Every structure is written in C-alpha cells, then in structure tokens.
Structure 1
Amino acid sequence: MKKINFLKVGVIFSLLLFLCSNLSAQQFILNDDKLIDDRAAIKINEIGAEVKSKLGVNIYVYAKSNLGLGENVKTKDKIDFIKNSENQIISTLEEPYVLLTIAVEETHVNLLFSDDFKDILDKNDILDGYIVPLLASQDKNTLFAKVSAATLNGYAAIADTIAEANQIKLESSIGNAGKVSSTIWRVLMYTLIVLGLLAYTYAILRKRK
C-alpha cells in the first residue's frame, strides 16, 4: 500500500511540475485566439523568458481575432472601446512592461509600454518596420501565418531594442531576419507603386498624342 501511495504522489508531483512549466512558458502571451502558430509561440516565450531573466522586463502579447464590436460602431466609439480594453489589460500587468496588442478584424495594432521605455522604444518604428508590413501583405499566406510572423517579428524587435539599450546580447534573438523581411516587403510595395505611376503616366501621355 505504501508503494502505491508513493507512486501516486510521484505522478501527481510530476503533473504539477508539467502544468507549472506550461503556465510559466505561456505567461507572455496573454491571449492569441489561436492566431499564433505553436512554433512562433514557443519562440516568443523563449525570448520573453530570457528578457525577463536578464533584464527584469515583461514583454506581453494580446491578440484577438475580433473585439466583438458591431459593424455599425462609430469610429470614436471603437477607439474609446479599444483604449478602455487596453487600459484594463495594462492595469493587471507587472512593471516594467511592454504590451503588443492586435485586433485583426478591427485592423488595430498598438504598442504600449511603461515609462521606463519612453526613451528606448520607438512605437512607430516597431509597428511600421516589423509588424504592419507583414499583417498587410497581399500574398498567398493565410491570416494565421501572417499574424504569427508579424507577432514574432515585432516581439523580437522589441526585445532586441531593449537588450541593446542595456548592452546585452540575447541568445534567443532572431537577429536581422525580421528587419530584412519587412524591408523586402516595403521595397516590393514601393516598386509596384512606382511602376503603377509610370504606367499611368505613359497611358495619359499616349492618350494625349
């Protein structure tokens, strides 16, 4: 009987360790509505754990497929709702923090952070350089793939920026891959725009002749 009880205790203890490790691993993705691929989530949490252990900084992700708003909601009401929702999330976070929020159907992406990072993080640079280009790309990739890539890309950029400001190199860093992919996308878009303008100008000139 004692052996059986001992085995039961061992099994329960192992399960508790497993659950605790899983909860710890997912602590940086507050919500994702299953929009983030498991591999991307693992990498995000790996980066988050290293930043937390080395710098004491919490980088969070909160992604939603939609916020439950109706189609006829006024822009002002939509903005107020999103702002209130983000403030509620922030009130529960451990400082110092960085919070990346995404609402797919509302085409909303935002970056919020505690005062510690006002002189370190450039919100527009992170969003426009690493996240928005991948979310807005017109390609054959699924929404699932786009959100996963954009979230990981932005998350890694946030972590690297904070680490560099503290003269620390992250072992989990994805390096320049994120910036390169965004740059390629932007160059492609600019090229298409320029070609479109040239084609339009040529058509106008030819019509006049």
Structure 2
Amino acid sequence: MRKILQDGFFKTIFLFFIIPLKVFALDSVVFNENILSQKVVNEINLIGKELQEKTGIFIGVAIGDQVDFETLLDIQKKMPKSYILLVLSKKSHKVDIVGSKGSLILIDKEAVLSPYSGTGSILPILATKKGDIYNAAILNGYADIADRIAQARGIKLENSIGNANRDTINILRILIYGFICFALLYYAQRRMKRKKNVSN
C-alpha cells in the first residue's frame, strides 16, 4: 500500500511539475532521465527544430531510467496538435512510437521498430548490448523518423544525419545476395556443361 501511494505521489509530481517545464521549452527531448548525453540531446533538438519549422510536425523523445513506460506516455497530454513521440523506458524494458494520426501515417512505424537489422533503426542497436546503446539507438531512431517525414512531405533536412547503419547494412546485403546469385548461376552453368560433356 505504501509503495502504491509513493508511486502515485511520484507520478503526480512528474505530471504537474517535470513534464510541463520540459515540454513548454519546446525542446525535442521532452524528458531525459540522465540517459542521453548532451551531445545527442543537442543533435536531436537541432533536427527536431528544423523539421518542425518546415513541416509543422513536432517530434519528441521521452526516455526514462526509473520512470515506467505508462507514466512516460502521459507526456502526450502536453504535446502539440501534430506530433510524434519516441518513448523508451529502461525500467519497463519497452520502446514505442506514438503520435497524432495525421503524423503517424507519414512514417512506417513497424519498419522503424523492426527488430531486424537493415530495417529497424532502434531495436537492432539495443539488442547488441555493446557500447552506448541508448544514445546510439535513440539518435538513430529519431533521425530515421525525421527523414521519413521529410521524404513524405518532399523536403530536405539540412541537419539530417541520415541512417548510416541501415544504409551500410543494405549495401552489404545487396553485395552478399549478388555473390550468392553469381555462385548459384556459376554452379548451374558448370553442372550443365558437365552433363553436356558426359552425353557427348
């Protein structure tokens, strides 16, 4: 009972004091519980500001260490009319992308959150468990969302970092598939040649 009361009190403080201060500042990183580095926060804010100026769509990030996922979702109540919010809670082991309908249709949410390398831009990095995975995953995912919106609206972002991981993996995949196809064709050609020689 005491724990429930403490959690309820913390959530109330979180909603009425912490969230409004962060969101009203209009920074793209609306909540950061000592996870993202200042360098990554600055990069995200730069991309988010340009995208909002050019499209009117706000993309926010809410990332918590001890704050649970459901509490982070309450930040949506303070969002602008057109928004997308990337939410990650270490405590709940959960990540998701939420937002207004008009904004969400501009991105392929399932692709961004795909666990497969070369498709997803967040979960494959988190799954590696090597290095500073949260900074890398959030920045990569945020940039991916921004690029998808920019492409859907037909604009170019000067501050876009692109999705280097996905592009590199896609290039490697093409090279590998190309090599496999070449090897199969070569094998088939050799086999046909051998049959022809035997029949003669």
TM-score range (shorter-chain normalised) is: 0.5 to 0.7
Scaled by the length of structure 1, what TM-score is found?
0.63
Q: Which residue of 1 aligns with 2:124?
A: 133
Q: Specify whether residues 124 and 106 from structure 1 end up closer, same or farther in structure 2 by C-alpha distance, changes over 3 A only.
A: same
Matches of 2:165 and 2:156 in 1, distance apart? 16
Q: Which residue of 1 aligns with 2:33?
A: 33
Q: Deviations over 1:114-150 (max 9, x none)?
A: 01134321212112200111112133x1xxx211111
Scaled by the length of structure 2, what TM-score is found?
0.65
Deviation at 1:104, TM superposition (A): 1.1
What's the % identity of the aligned pairs? Answer: 31
Deviation at 1:180, TM superposition (A): 3.5
Q: 1:124 is matched with which residue: 110, 114, 117?
A: 110
Paired residue total: 144
Matches of 2:42 and 2:61 in 1, distance apart? 13
Q: Which residue of 1 aligns with 2:66?
A: 66
Deviation at 1:27, TM superposition (A): 1.3
Q: Specify whether residues 41 and 87 from structure 1 end up closer, same or farther in structure 2 by C-alpha distance, changes over 3 A only.
A: closer
Matches of 2:104 and 2:42 in 1, distance apart? 28
Matches of 1:61 and 1:161 in 2, distance apart? 16
Query: Partner letter of residue 138 of structure 1?
Result: K
- Contact 1:101–1:110 under 8 Å retained in 2: yes
Q: 1:101 is matched with which residue: 68, 83, 87?
A: 87
Q: Which residue of 1 aligns with 2:176?
A: none
Matches of 1:101 and 1:48 in 2, distance apart? 15
SS of the residue corresponding to residue 142 of structure 2 reads: helix
Q: Specify whether residues 95 and 180 from structure 1 end up closer, same or farther in structure 2 by C-alpha distance, changes over 3 A only.
A: same
Superposition RMSD in Å: 2.2
Instruction: Mark the runs of 5 or more structure 1 residues left unpaired by the alignment.
Output: 1-22, 69-81, 188-209
Q: 1:176 is matched with which residue: 145, 160, 163?
A: 163
Matches of 1:38 and 1:86 in 2, distance apart? 20
Deviation at 1:31, TM superposition (A): 1.1
Matches of 2:157 and 2:101 in 1, distance apart? 23
Q: 1:156 is matched with which residue: 137, 143, 146?
A: 143
Matches of 2:86 and 2:75 in 1, distance apart? 11
The answer to whether the aligner puts 1:89 opposite 2:89 as a matched pair is no
- Contact 2:47–2:143 under 8 Å retained in 1: yes
Matches of 1:109 and 1:138 in 2, distance apart? 15
Query: Partner letter of residue 171 of structure 1?
Result: E
Matches of 2:125 and 2:139 in 1, distance apart? 11
Matches of 1:65 and 1:164 in 2, distance apart? 32
